[in-house]
Amino acid sequence: MSETTLIAVVEDDAEIRALVAGLLSREGFEVAACPDGAELDRVMARRRVDLVLLDLMMPGEDGLSICRRLRAAGDTPVLMVTAKSDDIDRVVGLELGADDYIGKPFNPRELLARVRAILRRTRAIHRIAANPPAAVFRFAGWTLDSGSRALRDPSGRPVDLTGGEFDLLMAFLTHPQRVLSRDQLLDWTRGRSAEPYDRAVDVQLSRLRRKLGDRSEAPTFIRTVRGGGYLFAPQVERG
């Protein structure tokens, strides 16, 4: 798996397109902003698109036509966006193969929830540690060999990690000194098996902190960012 999930935002309104693209980018997704179906075709000719966020009403080729083409060509997931109050168009979109729909105006948190739900249902999303690179990570005297999954403390003693703890540590080591939301960690470590209110990440986070010797009252490794998520504070060297 690559470390990015590419979402194509197909929307003819430039302001809405920019707002949605910015929202998804801030959540760690790679975004291709497309004003029409022709640009989407050009993007898909170069890259594998993991999800198409598709506006229903557009001049020229509309969303229903594009959805029909996408379904005929393959199984790229589609989230239909519609401003219409008439349920008929939504039903037609679902019958053509759209995976879900959301109406305008939409709550940004609902949009992100629907995006993540589709990705979890349709593919093993962005598992950073699923096939870790053969590399050695060093941080604050600690060493992790990602190939053998061997973690050693500053004195050289081995520290056992469960699979979930290893995945979580890899997420932090590949994104050091960056605030990662709980949803991002859930996506990267649990993939399609994750549920919306999955607490496994919280349990693994607590255990990983304990194994790293992080004090809950004053953590030096994994810091909690109020309203943001978690940040891995040490400098990380990769060799």
Put simply, whether the predicted model's pTM sits higher than 0.75 gets the answer no
Does 97 have pLDDT greater than 70? Answer: yes
Are residues 183 and 116 in contact, defined by beta-carbon separation less than 8 angstroms? yes
Fold match, 6-122 / 136-238: no
Distances (CA, A) of 39 to 4, 31, 43: 20, 13, 6
Distances (CA, A) of 230 to 2, 61, 171, 181, 184: 22, 43, 11, 6, 10
What mean pLDDT comes out for the span 121-131?
Answer: 52
Considering the chain, what percentage of its residues have pLDDT values greater than 90?
42
Residue ranges per structural domain of the chain: 6-122, 136-238
CATH architecture of the domain with residue range 6-122: 3-Layer(aba) Sandwich (3.40)
Residue-wise pLDDT for 167-226, tens only, equals 899 989 988 988 888 777 876 675 544 444 456 677 888 899 999 998 777 788 999 888
DSSP the chain: --S--EEEEE-S-HHHHHHHHHHHHHTT-EEEEESSHHHHHHHHHHS--SEEEEES--SSS-HHHHHHHHHHH----EEEEE----HHHHHHHHHHT-SEEEESS--HHHHHHHHHHHHHHHS-TT-TTTS--S-EEEETTEEEETTTTEEE-TTS-EE---HHHHHHHHHHHTSTTSEE-HHHHHHHHHGGG--TT--HHHHHHHHHHHHTT--SSS-SSEEEETTTEEEE-S--EE-
Q: Which of 29, 31, 27, 36 is nearest to 55 (CA)?
A: 36
β-strand pairing of 100-103 with 142-145? unpaired
Fold classification of 136-238 is: Arc Repressor Mutant, subunit A (1.10.10)
Tell me the pLDDT band of 35, cut-offs 50, 70 and 90: very high
Confidence (pLDDT) at 90: 64
**What backbone phi and psi angles, to 5 degrees, belong to 117?**
-60, -40
